[in-house]
Structure 1
Amino acid sequence: MTHPLLLGVRHHGPGSARAVRAALDAASPAAVLIEGPPEADALLPLAADDGMRPPVALLAHAVDDPGRAAFWPFAEFSPEWTAIRWALAHGVPVRFIDLPAAHSLAMRQEETAGEPEENPAESAHTAGEGAAPEDGGEETDIHGTAEAMRVDPIGALAQAAGYDDPERWWEDVVEHRTAREDDDSHAPFAAVAEAMAALRETYDHGGHGSDLVREAHMRLKLRAARKEFGDAVAVVCGAWHVPALARKTTMAADKALLKGLPKVKTEMTWVPWTHRRLSRHTGYGAGIDSPGWYAHLFSAPDRPVERWMTKVAGLLREEDHMVSSAHVIEAVRLAGTLAAMRGRPLAGLTETTDAVRAVLCDGSDVPLDLVRDRLVVGDVLGEVPEAAPAVPLQRDLARQQRSLRLKPEALEREADLDLRKETDAAKSRLLHRLNLLGIRWGEPAAGRSGTGTFRETWRLRWDPELAVRVAEAGVWGTTVLSAATAKAQARALEAAALADVTALAERCLLAGLPDALPVVMRALADRAALDADVGHLAEALPALVRSLRYGDVRSTDTAALAEVASGLADRICVGLPPACTGLDADGAAAMRTNLDAVHGVIGLLPDAGRQTLRWTAVLRRLADRDTVPGVLRGRAVRLLLDDRRLADDEAARLMALALSAGTPPADAAAWIEGFVGGASGGGMLLIHDERLLGLVDAWLTGVPTEAFTDVLPLLRRTFSAYQPGVRRTLGELVRRGAPGAGRPGAAAHSGPHTPGFGPGLDETRAGAVLPVLRLLLGTAEADGPNDNDLTTLRGVTR
């Protein structure tokens, strides 16, 4: 080599990667320089570690603000990764030459200093931070908020070549070429450099002023390398930068561009990455449409279409789709025919996708979406060796992941945990602690097997950005347990609302944080003593009772929690009746929610007997007070009736009073809403208690015409929540004329029977079901029906 070898590439391109490897083999440079942050030079030897499996990424974050971070991802098919591995395998020095992360992170912070952010800690952005346009890259935060590119060089070159799709043009001229096709391994790079030089003459920096600073730093690094190694130096960088690196400038001019740049102290490490995060659709600016397809092209340069169709067939078979070898053969033929018709050198992703849809998916896009998700994009998660530097919290998390066999995976999956098993209980504690720290590796999901407190279902998926969250959480402690404890204690001291503290107490019990509970309990007692709002107390009590139940299954001492919960229940029983007086419609609706919540947990308190008696008295006072809104009076009656603490006749009497002629229609409708509204089984109550249905029917038919329009919205809301079958049955009963309709005091089974139903039990027909009934009840078989059987049947039917 008589001059530096400038290898302009597109990031994450298998064709570029193969060409880089061939060029390096041919040139045998004395040193390899790569576009990337120089702070990572010490981490480069880890790329040759057996435990390093791409895709991986370099993570840089500010020491004082770990949320301010940037990623530089590498896939197996990335040209830069190929160059790194080549240099390490041949014992050749390899270095990064881009602008240091210390400057780029500080510059990014200055750019966003005046911009409002929902959470400044989440403003990390992916690599190439300040990425060059040739990458298809743009500066992007982890939520995918990207700055629009001003120039698309690949699009411009594709248009000049007569292509309307830049990706298809790049595939044809680069990705589908192999190094063996070129006698001169440097020829493709020379052609790309010439094209980029023409574009730079037209567009200069392409609208990205920061590129001028980056390129000045690259030139300084290149000068230093040439002084150390001579001209036998190879540079692997984005093709957009090649003309700038080849341009002759003075060292003084380049240093002037770098003078006065802001700087922050940074730390760097390797973290796992995923193919999904390489995709531009997930917010990574320098991404590609099909990382899984590109990985396939890189790993299978011979007969790629045949191998791809075989992969697709295997995936579809795993999902129980009927795919045979004949389907695969026909799909390969169709893809080749489409490529020939379209004048392409080889079937690309467009042709293979069309062939898969037509042959393997029977023209349906449903299985094709699965192929796109699992293969075209992919869910590959990289691995990083243990020797990679990491914050102590990350090392503790990795240790627990290994000991609990809870391996991070890019593909979302569900984990069902049985908390009676120590290993599952430890997994649950770990996931709850991580959520408390803001590391949302898992989200609680509705369980499919049982509703007891000893079961949990989690939906798990590891995203690369969680590495930033781990770095942020490192300020709270060196282990997951100590960090979660410290954060819980801090949140308890900061919380202003009683409900926030009770929710925190529940999370501490779920996470198994005994050292945090004393601080949380003191804060809880203080907030409870100062809060006189019964609504707030009612909102807080359910979380405390749930915490007591969780403490039981997790063998946690909850004596202090039980004492606070009982105190809250006492205060609620005293203050609820006055608090329910004179409420407007919105206040009554909110209080009804609190009423239901307290009723659902009052019997779970340690002193349940005493509390239940007091609560029953509270409900009875609410039911009898005319100053209480109708929705609360009706709800109180319903709760008493469901718990068998109110006789059926008394419930009918209270309903008759609420629906009497002297009650305004709107108040009566609100009472009905509280009594039988919503999805709480009110419809089934009306079906099986014909007196109540008769009362509602008689009141509804008696509502004056001028008032009916006013109460209709509330009635519609009341009855629309019923299941369709319940509404249909109610309609049939009303159409036929329910027994006692219009007669408030009628007995349930007195008077003429309902048309279509018999007046009593037909013992002959009932006897036909007795064998099955005895089998279900586990009673001894008999030759035929007897008095005991019929007595049992009457009891069941009642």
Structure 2
Amino acid sequence: MAATFVGVRHHSPACARLVRETIRRLRPAYVLVEGPADFGDRIGELLLGHEPPVAVFSYYRDDERVHASWSPFCAYSPEWVALNEGRAAGAELRFIDLPAWHPAFAGRSNRYADAERRYAEVTGRLCREFAVDNTDILWDHLFEIDAENTAERLDAYFGLVRGEAEAGEDDAARESYMAEWVRAAEADAGDRPVVVVTGGFHKPALEALAASGGTAWPRVPEPPGDSTGGSFLVPYSFRRLDAFTGYQSGMPSPEYYQRLWEDGPDAAAGALVETVVARLRGRGQVVSTSDLIAARTLTAGLTRLRGHPAPARTDLLDGLVSALVNDDLDQRLPWTSRGALAPGAHPAVAEMVDALSGDRTGRLHADTPAPPLVGNATAELARLGLDRGGPVVLKLTTPRGLERSRALHRLRVLRIPFAERESGPATGADPELEERWTLDAADRDGRRHAALIEAGAYGPTPADAAAAALDERMDAAGADMEGLAAVLFDAALCGCADQSGRIAESISAGIAGASDIAALGAALESVLGLWRHDRVLGTAGSPLFGTVVEECADRILWLAEGVRGGPAPADLRRLRALAAVRDALLHASGTLRLDRAAALGVARRVAAGSGA
């Protein structure tokens, strides 16, 4: 039996309703969903009973590339509804898209980033035809507030945009692979239906590709043998979903669409008017009962004027602005364009955007598998007495104080929202022997749990993960000596400076490519202090730091011999770099490979050169 294809816009309640109705009506043998095929045998984890929004977080790492991506789901995501309705109907569930590590997703951190840039011309023409500002408003006008003939209108819309857009090689690879799953499911299902839920941009191509070809189940691609990677579920949030905060795909104002999904457009508009008014009053702005009535009246008037059967999102927002904002606005209203809210937006407008964005955060079921880092970090904090909130003072001269400091610095390097350092040593030459931190033990919005899961991509323990994260920063710094020195100091604070050969390789390459004598000198000064003195942090005599001292000194001398210039005042930062070389020769030449005679030769030649 031929498959039924449902083309969707990701995170669209109208599309989610169509998916729900289709699956309930057909009761298919298979429900095939655009999602990472390598997570296919773990779809059951998505159906444990989480509170969305949640996401599949996928990571990949090899010697050439580091990649992380998310496949987010909220309650009204068509893909989420397809999985839950498919299970309720007794269907076999399959994710049919290429894995997130695949080169087809190389430039994409979000699997469900829509292809709108590729069909901007046709959607721009539609926006002009319907006299709306952008595709979000166009979409609401065409689909979200009018449930009649949704399937036919979606087919016409996606047929039009795909017909005038060129698919790239990445899309072609994905569509060819997804079509293999469709053909195999059709063959296996026999006379029973198959429902396919993908982005609407892919639907026309998939319908054509599925019409002919082999019927064997496709192989799930495996990453190269020298790579590491995996996927885990993470709690997500409406803030991360919202286009106004820079989300790469889908719909803005997720709280509005959540209420639209649950209660319909009239109830969503009424509830959110009250929410906005309550928020403004909470900020001390006077909003009277007559203002509230005016907002509802203006929203209703705009709804009728624009020919909508119920209030659309922009009817609500425009009505609120007309009723509650009396000042002249310096900027365009943010919902008339796409992207993050611009700085300096009117406070009332910002409150409206925030209210429609919402602050919901997903929660994972207690039985959800997590990477080892989550349990290991939690256990380490408990063992060290760092699992309670409040101020903490750490004596770095005691073994326990140093161990606790390293644990907190590892979480800081991994960007886990947990602790804030108030004071402590700031450079390798800093004599401060005490640190002060403020800990926040309550993970109220789930951000720490999500961040720990995502940081699990770096390694199983905080020490391993921090070392890998520092490797990544070191690679990104390139020849930026100040950046490299900062990474080295963080490595010292984390106690993992000599754990990674990649740090040594990266910093050697960075030094060899550096051309700023002053930056090299600042790095040499800091690292020399760590190598000479820092028995507290454990870097005194470190082979890695000794190598950095040797290579920085050689590079500074080589660059100094090539300096030419006129009679301008001396560059004091360059002179400080030469002083750092002097100190290295004075204090380390007996231990490290530093050639005093060669350095003196450079000094004599520079002194003799009139253009130096």
Q: Same fold (TM over 0.5)?
A: yes
**Distance in structure 1 (CA, Å) of the matches to 2:186 and 2:384:** 51
2:292 counterpart residue number: 328
1:511 counterpart residue number: 494
1:473 counterpart residue number: 458
Amino acid at match of 1:354: D
Q: Is the 8 A contact 1:57 1:273 kept in 2?
A: no
1:367 to 344, 347, 351: 347
As a proportion of its length, which structure holds more helix? 1
Give the secondary structure class of the aligned counterpart of 2:175.
helix
Query: Taking structure 1 as reference, are residues 560 and 17 closer, same or farther at Cα in structure 2, changes over 3 Å only?
Result: same
Q: Is the 8 A contact 2:422 2:435 kept in 1?
A: no
**Residues 1:299 and 2:282 aligned together:** no
Amino acid at match of 1:473: Y
Deviation at 1:220, TM superposition (A): 2.6
**Residues 1:355 and 2:315 aligned together:** no
**Distance in structure 2 (CA, Å) of the matches to 1:238 and 1:303:** 28
Deviation at 1:428, TM superposition (A): 6.0
Q: Is the 8 A contact 1:508 1:516 kept in 2?
A: no
| Superposition map of 1:301-700 within 5 A | 301=264, 303-363=267-327, 365-372=345-352, 374-385=354-365, 387-397=367-377, 417-419=391-393, 429-436=406-413, 439-441=414-416, 454-456=435-437, 470=455, 473-474=458-459, 478-484=460-466, 506-507=489-490, 510-511=493-494, 587=570, 589-590=572-573
Query: Taking structure 1 as reference, are residues 380 and 426 closer, same or farther at Cα in structure 2, changes over 3 Å only?
Result: farther
Amino acid at match of 1:197: G
Query: Taking structure 1 as reference, are residues 108 and 95 closer, same or farther at Cα in structure 2, changes over 3 Å only?
Result: closer
Moved more, 340-349 or 7-16: 340-349
1:270 counterpart residue number: 233
Deviation at 1:272, TM superposition (A): 3.3
Deviation at 1:356, TM superposition (A): 2.6
Give the secondary structure class of the aligned counterpart of 2:183.
helix
Deviation at 1:27, TM superposition (A): 2.9
Deviation at 1:540, TM superposition (A): 6.2
Moved more, 245-254 or 218-227: 245-254
Deviation at 1:227, TM superposition (A): 2.3
Give the secondary structure class of the aligned counterpart of 1:288.
coil
1:37 counterpart residue number: 36
**Distance in structure 2 (CA, Å) of the matches to 1:191 and 1:45:** 33
| Superposition map of 1:275-294 within 5 A | 275-280=238-243, 284-294=247-257
Query: Taking structure 1 as reference, are residues 593 and 208 closer, same or farther at Cα in structure 2, changes over 3 Å only?
Result: same
Query: Taking structure 1 as reference, are residues 484 and 163 closer, same or farther at Cα in structure 2, changes over 3 Å only?
Result: closer
Give the secondary structure class of the aligned counterpart of 2:202.
helix
Give the secondary structure class of the aligned counterpart of 1:11.
coil
**Residues 1:166 and 2:144 aligned together:** no
Query: Taking structure 1 as reference, are residues 353 and 490 closer, same or farther at Cα in structure 2, changes over 3 Å only?
Result: closer
Deviation at 1:500, TM superposition (A): 8.6
User: Which segments of 5 or more consecutive residues in structure 2 lack a partner in the other structure?
Assistant: 330-344, 427-431, 504-516, 547-565, 581-612
Deviation at 1:403, TM superposition (A): 8.7
**Distance in structure 2 (CA, Å) of the matches to 1:499 and 1:248:** 53
Query: Taking structure 1 as reference, are residues 213 and 488 closer, same or farther at Cα in structure 2, changes over 3 Å only?
Result: closer
**Distance in structure 2 (CA, Å) of the matches to 1:207 and 1:495:** 35
Query: Taking structure 1 as reference, are residues 376 and 491 closer, same or farther at Cα in structure 2, changes over 3 Å only?
Result: closer
**Residues 1:218 and 2:199 aligned together:** no
Q: Is the 8 A contact 1:473 1:483 kept in 2?
A: yes
Amino acid at match of 2:138: W
Deviation at 1:406, TM superposition (A): 9.7
Give the secondary structure class of the aligned counterpart of 2:66.
coil
2:202 counterpart residue number: 241
Deviation at 1:298, TM superposition (A): 2.1
**Distance in structure 1 (CA, Å) of the matches to 2:65 and 2:448:** 17
Query: Taking structure 1 as reference, are residues 170 and 405 closer, same or farther at Cα in structure 2, changes over 3 Å only?
Result: farther
- 1:437-463 deviation digits (Å, cap 9, x = unpaired): xx3346998959xx9954347999959
**Distance in structure 2 (CA, Å) of the matches to 1:454 and 1:125:** 36
Q: Is the 8 A contact 2:53 2:73 kept in 1?
A: yes
- 1:640-664 deviation digits (Å, cap 9, x = unpaired): xxxxxxxxxxxxxxxxxxxxxxxxx
Amino acid at match of 2:238: H
Which of the pair has more CA radius of gyration?
Answer: 1
**Distance in structure 1 (CA, Å) of the matches to 2:239 and 2:471:** 37
Paired residues, what number? 517
| Superposition map of 1:194-233 within 5 A | 194-198=156-160, 200=162, 202-203=163-164, 206-229=166-189, 230-233=191-194
- 1:698-743 deviation digits (Å, cap 9, x = unpaired): xxxxxxxxxxxxxxxxxxxxxxxxxxxxxxxxxxxxxxxxxxxxxx
**Distance in structure 1 (CA, Å) of the matches to 2:131 and 2:541:** 76
User: Which segments of 5 or more consecutive residues in structure 1 lack a partner in the other structure?
Assistant: 110-122, 139-147, 408-414, 521-532, 565-582, 598-798
Amino acid at match of 1:507: D
**Distance in structure 2 (CA, Å) of the matches to 1:501 and 1:12:** 41
Deviation at 1:35, TM superposition (A): 1.7
**Distance in structure 2 (CA, Å) of the matches to 1:336 and 1:406:** 54
**Distance in structure 2 (CA, Å) of the matches to 1:275 and 1:5:** 31
**Distance in structure 2 (CA, Å) of the matches to 1:216 and 1:433:** 43
- 1:258-286 deviation digits (Å, cap 9, x = unpaired): 99x99634633323333344344655543
**Distance in structure 1 (CA, Å) of the matches to 2:490 and 2:153:** 61
Query: Taking structure 1 as reference, are residues 60 and 155 closer, same or farther at Cα in structure 2, changes over 3 Å only?
Result: farther
**Distance in structure 1 (CA, Å) of the matches to 2:99 and 2:321:** 45
**Distance in structure 2 (CA, Å) of the matches to 1:24 and 1:345:** 27
Query: Taking structure 1 as reference, are residues 253 and 535 closer, same or farther at Cα in structure 2, changes over 3 Å only?
Result: closer
Amino acid at match of 2:272: W
Amino acid at match of 2:286: M
Q: Is the 8 A contact 2:481 2:519 kept in 1?
A: no
Deviation at 1:585, TM superposition (A): 6.2
2:510 counterpart residue number: none
Amino acid at match of 2:110: T
Deviation at 1:590, TM superposition (A): 3.1
Deviation at 1:380, TM superposition (A): 4.1
Amino acid at match of 1:175: E
Q: Is the 8 A contact 1:67 1:469 kept in 2?
A: no
1:629 counterpart residue number: none
**Distance in structure 2 (CA, Å) of the matches to 1:490 and 1:78:** 33
Deviation at 1:81, TM superposition (A): 0.8
Q: Is the 8 A contact 2:416 2:452 kept in 1?
A: no
**Distance in structure 2 (CA, Å) of the matches to 1:84 and 1:462:** 26
**Distance in structure 1 (CA, Å) of the matches to 2:186 and 2:480:** 65
The structure whose RCO (Cα within 8 Å, separation 6+) is larger is 2
1:188 counterpart residue number: 150
**Distance in structure 2 (CA, Å) of the matches to 1:93 and 1:34:** 11
**Residues 1:96 and 2:71 aligned together:** no
Amino acid at match of 1:125: S
1:127 counterpart residue number: 111
Amino acid at match of 1:306: G
Deviation at 1:167, TM superposition (A): 2.2
Query: Taking structure 1 as reference, are residues 287 and 396 closer, same or farther at Cα in structure 2, changes over 3 Å only?
Result: farther
